[in-house]
Amino acid sequence: MVWVHDDPGSYLFIDAALKALRTAFREQGNDNNIYQTRWLEDSEDLSDDARGTIVKYSRYELIHTEH
């Protein structure tokens, strides 16, 4: 699970950051082991009153297979 916080206002930065994370996770892996990341969900628009921020999270499942 990855949480992205921003100053109160628009969720545009948060949405762009979550999109960049999905892209980065899709492209990961190496020669000996394959790590496949499956996107599960993005949260609804949330706020963190303790930090005074707006926030969303994205959940992923990491799958490891060996050759």
* Model pLDDT for residues 7-33, shown as the tens digit of each residue: 999 999 999 999 999 988 877 665 556
The total number of structural domains that make up the chain: 1
CB-based burial, 1-16: b 16+ in 10 Å, e otherwise: eeebbbeeeebeebee
Look up the pTM and report it. Answer: 0.80
Concatenated DSSP letters for 13-37? HHHHHHHHHHHHHHT---SSEEEEE
Q: Which domain holds residue 58?
A: 2-66
Query: How far apart are alpha carbons 63 and 10 in whole angstroms?
Result: 33
* Mean pLDDT for all residues in the chain: 88
